[in-house]
Amino acid sequence: MAHYDTAVIGGGLLGCATAWHLARAGTRVLLVEKDQLNRHASGQNAGSLHFQLEYRMVEHGDAAARLAARALPLHLDAMRAWSTVEAELGEPCGVARHGGLMLAETPAQVAALDRKAALESRYGLPVDVVSGRDLRVLAPYLSTDVLAAGFAPGEGKANPRLVTPAYARAATRLGAEIRTGHRVTSLDRHAGRWRLGADGAVDTADTVVLAAGVWTTEVAAMADVRLPAFPVGLTMSATARTGPLLPHLIQHVGRRLSMKQTEDGNVLIGGGWPAKLVTRAGRVDLDVNPELRYESLAGNAAAARVVPAVCDLPVIRTWTGMTTLTPDQLPLLGAVPRRPGMYVATGGSAFTLGPTYARLLAEILLTGRAGLPVDDCSPERFGALNFA
Ligand X SMILES: Cc1cc2nc3c(=O)[nH]c(=O)nc-3n(C[C@H](O)[C@H](O)[C@H](O)COP(=O)(O)OP(=O)(O)OC[C@H]3O[C@@H](n4cnc5c(N)ncnc54)[C@H](O)[C@@H]3O)c2cc1C
Q: How far apart are CA 196 and CA 198, in angstroms?
A: 7
User: What are the DSSP calls for 228-257, one per residue?
Assistant: --EEEEEEEEEEPP-SS---SEEEESSS--
Helix (H) or strand (E) run with residue 261 in it: strand 258-261
Interface segment toward ligand X; rule CB under 6 A; list 20-28, 82-90, 103-111, 208-216: 208-216
Q: Does 41 bind ligand X (CB under 6 A)?
A: yes
Q: Which residues contact 98 (CB under 8 A, 6 or more apart)?
A: 156, 247, 248
60: left (phi over 0), alpha (psi -120 to 50) or beta: alpha
Q: How far apart are CA 112 and CA 106, in angstroms?
A: 10
Q: What is the dihedral of CA 297, 298, 303, 307, to 10 degrees?
A: 90
Q: Does 31 bind ligand X (CB under 6 A)?
A: no
Residues paired with residue 205 on neighbouring β-strands, in sequence order: 4, 194
Indicate the residue among 146 and 236 with the shorter CB distance to ligand X. Answer: 236
Q: Does 355 bind ligand X (CB under 6 A)?
A: no
Interface with ligand X (CB under 6 A), residue from 156, 165, 213, 231: 213
Q: Does 273 bind ligand X (CB under 6 A)?
A: no
The residue whose Cβ lies closest to ligand X is 12
Q: Which residues contact 62 (CB under 8 A, 6 or more apart)?
A: 115
Shortest Å, Cβ 375 to ligand X: 21
Q: Does 14 bind ligand X (CB under 6 A)?
A: yes
Q: Does 72 bind ligand X (CB under 6 A)?
A: no
Indicate the residue among 54 and 135 with the shorter CB distance to ligand X. Answer: 54
Q: Does 236 bind ligand X (CB under 6 A)?
A: yes
Site string for ligand X, 315-334 (x = CB under 6 A): ------xxx-----------
Indicate the residue among 27 and 251 with the shorter CB distance to ligand X. Answer: 251
Return residues touching ligand X (CB under 6 A). Answer: 9-15, 32-35, 39-42, 44-48, 183-184, 211-213, 215, 219, 234, 236, 258, 270, 321-323, 346, 349-352
